[in-house]
Amino acid sequence: MRSTCWIALALLATLTAVGAQAPSTPSTTWPGYRGQDRDGVYGESIRVSWEGLAPMWKKPVGGGRASFAVADGRAFTIEQRRQQEVVAAYDVMTGRELWTSAWQARFSQWMGGGEGPRATPAWADGFVFALGARGELRCLDAATGQPKWRVTLGSRLSVGVGSDGALVVVASDEGEVFALDTLDGTVRWRAR
C-alpha cells in the first residue's frame, strides 16, 4: 500500500528553494534524521506564513516511517514497496524519481507501527547510507544509486543511522550500537 507524503516533500522543496543559490551549499543540505547536528534546527531563513502556498509537487511513496535526507538537490528516503525495501532518490524541485535501490525484505508491525522501514537514510560525502528494517545496511552512490557495499547486521536495527564521514553509526532498538567504516562496511566497533 502506498501513502502520499506530499507535505514533507513539499516542505523539503520549499526549504531548498528558500535556502540558497546552489543545491550543494550547506543551507540546502539536511543530511539525515534531525539535520546536520541531529538537533532538528534549520539555521537558514524559512517561510513562516504558509497561507496561499501551493505544493510544488506531490508524489505517492511506499510505506514506512523514515524521513528524508536532502543533499545536492535530492531527497533520499527508504520505503516499503510490496515485498521490497527500496531506497529512492527524488529531485526536490520536481519530485521526479531519479533512482532506486531495492532488495527483498518485508517488515510490518501490527501494534501501531504499520509497514515498512523506520530509519531515515544519512548522506555524507556523496554517499547515502540506508538501513532496512531487517538489518540490511547499504552504502549507495548518491548520484546514481549504485551500491558501494552492503552488510546485514541483524533483524532488530530500526532506530537510526548517521555518518560522520569516516564511520556510519547504527543504533538498534535493543540498545546495541555499531560503527562501520564508510569505505567498506567493516564493523570497527560495537557496544551495548
Residue 37: the pLDDT is: 67
Residue 177: the pLDDT is: 85
Residue 33: the pLDDT is: 59
Residue 56: the pLDDT is: 86
Inter-residue contact 13 to 30 (CB < 8 Å): no
Inter-residue contact 85 to 115 (CB < 8 Å): no
Residue 97: the pLDDT is: 95
Tell whether the model's pLDDT for residue 18 goes beyond 60.
no
Which long-range contacts link 141-148 to residues 24+ away (Cβ below 8 Å)?
142/71, 142/72, 142/74, 142/76, 142/89, 143/72, 144/99, 145/87, 145/89, 145/98, 145/99, 145/100, 145/101, 146/101, 147/101
Tell whether the model's pLDDT for residue 136 goes beyond 90.
no
Tell whether the model's pLDDT for residue 3 goes beyond 50.
no
Confidence of residue 26 (pLDDT cuts 50, 70, 90): very low
Average confidence (pLDDT) over 159-169: 69
The one-character DSSP state at 63 is B
Inter-residue contact 36 to 67 (CB < 8 Å): no
CB hemisphere CA count around 74 (13 angstroms)? 23
Least trusted range by pLDDT, from 11-15, 66-70, 110-114, 127-131 = 11-15
Mean pLDDT of the chain: 76
pTM (2 decimals)? Answer: 0.74
Inter-residue contact 78 to 102 (CB < 8 Å): no
